[in-house]
Structure 1
Amino acid sequence: MGSIYLIRHGQASFGADDYDVLSPVGIRQSEALGEHLAHVGVHLDRCVAGDLRRQQDTARLALAAMQRTGCTVPPVDTDIAFNELDADAVIRTLLPGLLADEPEARHILRNGAQHRSEFQRLFALMIQRWHDGEYDCDDIESWATFVERVDGGLQRVLAQASSGENVAIFTSGGTITALLHLVTRITASQAFALNWQIINTSLSQLKYRGREVTLASFNSQAHVQLLRAPELITYR
């Protein structure tokens, strides 16, 4: 059987003007992941990433760290199927319907770095309404369409993979959530309950034989836990 490693990007710049940039912590997380993969002897036959900057930079930094140990690494192929869901569009679409019950929601969401727990609570509520289809707008990607997009990327990876190959996919939390939903058949609500536990640069492993895929491990944090640096365990 072959392996597909699902890797969430390193910590991005939450609360900054451009979220899609790795923070200094995100850079260190990415390098630590590459060093760990090399240390445990993981050989990668292929790497794929979405085209978001945080995904591409996580791949670049992790693979460079592997190379510095003498590992041979493949180039990074880009597939936008593994891009994150458009969280900004979800917020813009669902926020108006939230204001009657949550009058401070607009302020909290605009200042998320100062209100992290309240931001997460409101964002989780909007995500639930999004995947349940509780909104009237055709301008955003629906949960069903998002899952279809991610599944298309997975099927392309499987079609191009040879038996026993190791493939790394550098992606995002929402995309990993969709893959958990597809592979394990858990509900969207159950998958997103797991989503909130996915740390930056965590490693989840799928095993595949042909088009048959199973979940082997989820949200491994060993590469940062072994460093005994709790500041490297981040969720956003």
Structure 2
Amino acid sequence: MGNLYLIRHGQASFGADDYDVLSPVGIRQSQALGEHLAQLGLRLDRCVAGNLRRQQDTARLALETLKGNGHAVPAIETDPAFNEFDADGVIRALLPGLMADEPNAGHILRNGVQNRSEFQRLFALMVQRWHAGEHEGDGLETWQAFTARVNAGLQRVLDTAGSGDNIAVFTSGGTIAALLHLVSGITPSQAFALNWQIINTSLSQLKFRGRDVALASFNSQAHVQLLKVPELITYR
């Protein structure tokens, strides 16, 4: 059987002008992941990443560290099917309908760094309404379209994989949630309940034989837990 290692990107720059940039913590997380893969002696046959900067940079830093520890590394293949859903688009589309019940939502979402727990509560509520289809058809990628995109990327990887390949997929939390939904059959609500627990640079493992895929492990954090540096365990 082959293995797909689903890796969430390192911490991005939440609250900055450009979210899609790894923070200093995100850089260290990515390097710690590479060191951990080297210690495991894991042979990677392929590496696939979405085309978002935070996904590409996490892959690059992890593989550079793995290579620096004497391991051969594959080139990074890019497939935008593994990009995150449009979180900003979800907020823009769902916020107006939320204001009647949450009159302070606009202020909270504009100042998320200062209101992290409330930001997460409101964002989770909007995501729930998004995957339930409770929004206008305003050009926003639907949950159904998102999962179809992610599934197409998964099938491309499987169709070109060797039977015993170890393949790293550098992606995002929402994409991993969609894959959990597709592979295990859990509901979107259950998938996103798990999504909120996925830490930056964690590993989730899928086993595959042909197009048959099964979940083997979820949200492994050993590479940062062993360092005993609590600030490296982040969720956004």
TM-score (norm 1): 0.99
| Residue aligned with 1:20, SS | coil
Counterpart in the other structure of 1:35: 35
* 2: CA distance, partners of 1:110 / 1:208: 42
Counterpart in the other structure of 2:89: 89
Cα deviation, residue 123, structure 1: 0.1
Q: 1:206, 1:213 within 8 Å by CA — same for their partners in 2?
A: yes
Counterpart in the other structure of 2:225: 225
1:72-118 alpha-carbon deviations (Å, 9 max, x no partner): 00000000000000000000000000001100000100110000000
Aligned residues: 236
1:211-231 alpha-carbon deviations (Å, 9 max, x no partner): 000000000000000001111
Cα deviation, residue 136, structure 1: 1.6
| Residue aligned with 1:95, SS | helix
Share of identical aligned residues, percent? 76
Calculate the aligned-residue CA RMSD, in Å: 0.4
Cα deviation, residue 135, structure 1: 1.1
| Residue aligned with 1:35, SS | helix
| Residue aligned with 1:140, SS | coil
**Letter of the 1:79 counterpart:** D
4+ long deviations beyond 2 Å? none
Counterpart in the other structure of 1:105: 105
* 2: CA distance, partners of 1:210 / 1:53: 30
Query: Where does the alignment leave 5 or more consecutive residues of structure 2 unmatched?
Result: none
Q: 1:38, 1:66 within 8 Å by CA — same for their partners in 2?
A: yes
| Residue aligned with 1:21, SS | coil
Counterpart in the other structure of 1:116: 116
* 1: CA distance, partners of 2:47 / 2:86: 23
Q: 1:93, 1:137 within 8 Å by CA — same for their partners in 2?
A: no
Cα deviation, residue 138, structure 1: 3.4
1:185-220 alpha-carbon deviations (Å, 9 max, x no partner): 000000000000000000000000000000000000
* 2: CA distance, partners of 1:156 / 1:81: 10
Asked if residue 49 in structure 1 is aligned to residue 49 in structure 2, the reply is yes
TM-score (norm 2): 0.99
* 2: CA distance, partners of 1:198 / 1:42: 22
